[in-house]
Chains A and B, each alone.
Chain A
Amino acid sequence: MNMTTIQACFQLDYGDFKLDVDLKLPGTGITVLFGHSGSGKTTLLRCIAGLQRAPQGKLEINGHIWQDSERDLFLPTYKRPLGYVFQEANLFPHLTVRDNLHYGLKRIKHNSGTVKLEQTLELLGIGHLLERMPGHLSGGERQRVAIARALALNPEVLLMDEPLASLDFKRKQEILPFLSRLHQQLDIPVLYVTHSQQEVAQLADTLVIMEDGRALASGPLSETQSRLDVPLAQDREAATVWQATVAEHEADYHLTRVAFAGGSLSLPAVDAEIGTPLRVQIYARDVSIALEAPTATSILNVLPATITGIAEGRDGQSIVQLRLPRMAAETAPGGPRHSLHPWKSELSQSVGNRCDQVGDQALLAHITRKSALLLGLQIGMSVYAQIKGTSLLN
């Protein structure tokens, strides 16, 4: 079990820009630092890397202190066991791809970690580029080499500064699957800076929302996405992402059922083996609320939930924050409480334990203020969330 945690506390003041954060981040998975340009996300990442020195700061990674301004301790970047991927790939133009990859490797005393260069080459699909010069690579290839170069060092933490921002849509689609695979196959915590909601949805396990040099919110993805005190929930594109696994294929109906900690969902058929991890995105505008279990509805995905928050949205909307009971833990032995469909109990028993590492599932619903009023929605009420549509992210 990897017990790494990242504790980062920085204050710096450039007059027109201030950074003031105090974060404790998990030592596994991808933590996305999300925010608009000028929100301080890149500055925070550079402070963690030591590329910028915050006058007031304390940084502890995996039990090692990298900076402690009170003790006047500041480890220079080249002494920090990290990997860094820049927005522009930043390969050395005078070295071949192979020499770029070996540049860092030659400088670490012993390669004790689990990541081998061959493995990264394969993971990123760049084995055939080794003899090329960086000037003769496409933008996407350059960025993949840069990621491999950082990974090959077996860093204790991988820092990525908008690695896809300078690429066009096609190149982005070329690299995103690699990042997802990286996430599934390697046990290195990643701090990933982006302003793209799409990348948040596809990659994040933990989300930190940055604004004006401060961290507005941080926590597990769906929980942070559904925070009502953060502008993200107001967005027309507001959504929550759930991590689920393929549980059953219903070939007759051209459907696939996926399981998550709070139950299961039916999706249009997915071509993946049982047990494959998936990310399912649910837009708040696709979620409606019923007070009683609807018995006659065409909507397949109806989940019991509890209202945990209500906020005013724009244009006569109400934003409802819902939480799904942790069905796997609570009800796996005896079957779910709300058996809408006869086959449901069986399923949550068989797959429930597999995803119990995922916390409570949070969900956002954008409904009209009128509906909220007519239904008399209040915090604490048990309701049913009807999910009209879902989209699969990988």
Chain B
Amino acid sequence: MLNAADIATLWLTFKVAGIATLLMLLFGTPLAWWLARTTSRWKTICNALVSLPLVLPPTVLGFYLLIMLGPNGPIGHLTTELGLGTLPFTFPGLVVASVLYSLPFVVQPLQASFTAIGEQPLEAAATLRAGPLDTFFSVVVPLAKPGFLTASILGFTHTVGEFGVVLMVGGNIPDRTRVVSVQIYNHVEALEYTEAHWLAGILMLFSFSVLLVLYTVLKTQPVAHPLK
């Protein structure tokens, strides 16, 4: 069965994933919108940068984050100056690392659905007196609903499943940075296979059901192709 420490790691994991997902939607939406619409030459570089965590070993990303956020890194300097201390091995640090790590899983579905909407509904809205922000909330968001759903679910589940970045940036501190994936590793190291089974099973079941729900909902979406 699950002991108190296991439950704490589960709770911490979902808290990190929840906050990170909200932050990713907040920053990822304008970023995806810009990437979907811009003709700027920076677009390609930005696309590559955002997608980097898809191909990079998580330890590499974690290593650089550790350096950057640490007391001698540029961001660490800044946070220290601001009186925030340094981020590595803290809960906020874990959230920041998670956001960077899972961002492509949020930005890419959003960017794809923004691109699929095309120019036409936006032009129609403009000829019907809707300004840019109005158009975004009254036309783009409803039409990109499948994209937002996919982005939220992939962003959340991917953050729940992270390991390498957490270990590098967050460490293994109970109640502060110890998430489920790390806890499973601890159990296996200690040969506590029963406990490992429980946690692994829960993650397995959780991820599968969430994806099942996602694909069921996407299949029933009336506007697969937003025009017609």
Contact = CB atoms under 8 A, between A and B. Distances in A.
Interface of A: 49-51, 76-79, 82-84, 86, 88, 90-94, 103-104, 107-108, 133, 135, 149-150, 153
Given A93-B143, A93-B228, A150-B127, A107 B121 contact: no
A243 to B, nearest CB: 30
Contact of B120 (A90, A133, A149): A90
Contact of A103 (B128, B132, B228): B128
Given A107-B134, A135-B222, A88 B139 contact: no
B118 to A, nearest CB: 10
Contact of B123 (A51, A93, A149, A150): A51
Interface residues of B, number: 23
24 contacts: A76-B126, A77-B126, A78-B128, A78-B129, A78-B135, A79-B129, A84-B124, A86-B120, A88-B227, A90-B227, A91-B124, A92-B124, A93-B121, A93-B222, A93-B223, A93-B226, A94-B143, A103-B128, A104-B127, A104-B130, A135-B222, A149-B128, A150-B127, A153-B129
Contacts of A49: 127
A135 B127 contact: no
Contact of A78 (B120, B121, B126): B126
B121 A92 contact: yes
Q: Which 10 A-B pairs have the closest CB atoms?
A: A104-B128, A84-B127, A77-B126, A107-B129, A90-B124, A94-B142, A78-B126, A90-B120, A93-B223, A78-B131
Nearest to A109: B129
B101 to A, nearest CB: 33
Interface string B129-170: 111101100110011000000000000000000000000000
Contacts of B143: 92-94
Contacts of B128: 78, 103-104, 107, 149, 153
A45 to B, nearest CB: 11
Nearest to A83: B127
A31 to B, nearest CB: 18
Interface of B: 120-121, 123-132, 134-135, 138-139, 142-143, 222-223, 226-228
Contacts of B125: 78, 92, 103
A300 B143 CA distance: 62
B138 to A, nearest CB: 8
A289 B222 CA distance: 63
A91 B121 CA distance: 7
Contacts of A103: 125, 128, 130, 138
A149 B135 CA distance: 16
B2 to A, nearest CB: 43
Contacts of A90: 120-121, 123-124, 227
A49 B122 CA distance: 13
A3 to B, nearest CB: 25
Nearest to B225: A93
Q: Which of A82, A86, A88, A107 counts the most chain B CB atoms within 10 A?
A: A107
Q: Which of B125, B129, B132, B143 has the most CB of A within 10 A?
A: B129
Contacts of A135: 222, 228
Which of A82, A91, A92 has the largest count of B CB atoms less than 10 A from its CB?
A92
Given A93-B223, A94-B142, A104 B123 contact: no
B105 to A, nearest CB: 25
A86 B118 CA distance: 14
B121 to A, nearest CB: 6
Contact of A86 (B123, B222, B226): B123
Given A51-B123, A90-B227, 15 more contacts: A51-B126, A76-B131, A77-B127, A78-B129, A78-B132, A78-B135, A86-B123, A90-B123, A90-B124, A92-B124, A94-B143, A103-B128, A104-B129, A108-B129, A153-B128
Contacts of B124: 84, 86, 90-92
Contacts of A104: 127-130
Contacts of A94: 142-143, 223
